[in-house]
Amino acid sequence: MARPYVVTEITAATMAPGAGDYGLVRDAAIVVTEGRIAWAGPESDLPSDYVGFDRQTCGGRLVTPALVDCHTHIVHGGNRAREFEMRLNGASYEEIARAGGGIVSTVGDTRGASEAELLASALPRVDALIAQGVGTVEIKSGYGLDTGTELKMLRVARALGQHRPIQVLTSFLGAHAVPAGDDADTYIDRICLPTLEAAHAEGLVDAVDGFCEGIAFDTVQIARVFDKAHALGLPVKLHAEQLSHIGGTALAAKYGALSADHVEYSTEVDAALLADAGTVAVVLPGAFYTIHETQPPPVQAFRDHGVPMAVATDWNPGSSPLGSILLAMNMACTLFRMTPAEALAGTTRNASRALGLLDCGVIAAGMRADLAIWNVSDPAELSYGIGINPLHLRIFGGVF
Ligand code: DI6
Ligand code: FE
């Protein structure tokens, strides 16, 4: 085990709840022992036990918790650049679908890829996130829609956490789309639910997700998936109210979901339900931007009701080919009028909560020593820059 050390000459944005916008501590020190934070606070208060430890000096830089990208689809085959180009050349969605485009094309590419190929294509995506200070990433299945491919995606997601110094949380998203030629109810009964059982039996599932939308599954169908999740002791989350309001947010709240994601079409009433349930609202500005959505999520209602908000990339080949968590933060501010402090809470403390994690996303004693050290002095700079990566150093499990 590495020797314990103290990170010094830093300003710490601890993101501790109730400690003001960023929980800022100037001239701070963070003590790291055995992969955990043993102590954090003003250096002048450093307990004498730690004074003799090795020092990692940071020249006055800002330290935050390592970032958490709590909603991604980074394991998938192929890409949809061709479809993007066709749209910009005037092709309609119908023409693209007839030419084999859309989610169906990603399902085909993902089914056709071996586990090794999926791993090889996902590693650079994980590396891009790590390069921006991400210490924890959530990865969904959902481009298989058959048992073998859904399990393959989840195994690759788990493998990414073995190949790289990053914590991976998996979500089973069998209820993502109805496979061509099937009907939704039959698919849920014959494929989705048995696949969830099989994936859980292999230890591949940390949470269960669904796409509740007119073009995917309705609330009754999602409720069946959630009932199975709860029977297996798994928490749920939901793609809710992305394109229309069909009751997904209320359903997520009813099931005590960890998070309701997208939520552009959620209402004030929905916000109150999320607050009561303790469910995090995850906003995904990359998808909003890519599909030219015009309805922003009800950020003010979330604020008014005290709903914790998280921000994520939704990195996927169709609606959000966004490989930058920092750009997602910038977009949450510019497109959704979130504050930079809300954006940073959204990729640290609240993103951890959206994954059910109690030991990361905040700098405090007992937490994982997952830290990001930045070449900035003001935490607002992290959301302010566009296409700029000011990461100086990332510490993962105490190791840098
Ligand atoms: N919501 C989305 O925006 C993506 N999935 C989902 O549930 C779309 C995924 C894709 O187009 O491949
Ligand atoms: Fe998504």
Which residue in the block uniquely carries the two structure tokens 């085959």? 77
Mean pLDDT of 82-102: 85
Estimate to the nearest angstrom the gap between the alpha carbon of 292 and the chain centroid: 21
Nearest CA to ligand 1 atom 8: 319
State yes or no: pLDDT of 96 exceeds 90: no
**Rounded to whole angstroms, how far apart are CA atoms 183 and 205?**
25
Q: Are 130 and 70 in contact (CB under 8 A)?
A: no
- 334 CA distance to ligand 2 centroid (A)? 21
User: What is the average per-residue pLDDT within 209-229?
Assistant: 97
> Relative to the alpha carbon of 213, which ligand is closest?
1
In this structure, what DSSP letter does residue 77 have? S
Is residue 67 pLDDT above 80, yes or no? yes
Mean pLDDT, rounded, for 27-39: 98
Q: Which ligand is nearest to the CA of 291?
A: 1
Q: Which of 319, 320, 322 to mutate to test the pocket of ligand 1 (most atoms within 8 A of CB)?
A: 319
CA of 189 relative to ligand 1 center, distance in Å:
22
Mean pLDDT of the chain: 97
Q: What are phi and psi of 330, to 5 degrees?
A: -60, -45
| Closest by Cα among 179, 183, 209, 178 to 196 | 209
Residue 20: predicted pLDDT? 86
Provide the pLDDT confidence category of residue 136 given band limits of 50, 70 and 90.
very high
pLDDT score of 104: 87
Is pLDDT of 99 > 80? no
Pocket of ligand 1 (CB under 6 A): 103, 106, 176, 211, 239, 242, 287, 316-319
Is the model's pLDDT at 62 over the cut of 90?
Answer: yes
Chain length of the chain: 400
pLDDT tens, 319-329?
Answer: 999 999 999 99
28 CA from centroid of ligand 1 (Å): 42
* Nearest CA owner, ligand 1 atom 6: 211
Q: How confident is the model at residue 1 (pLDDT cuts 50, 70, 90)?
A: low
Largest interatomic CA distance in the chain: 70
The pLDDT of residue 101 is 80
Nearest to 202 by CA among 178, 173, 172: 172
Cα(255) to centroid(ligand 2), Å: 19
Separation of 118 CA from ligand 2 center, angstroms? 18
Q: What is the arithmetic mean of pLDDT over 29-52?
A: 97
pLDDT of residue 284: 98
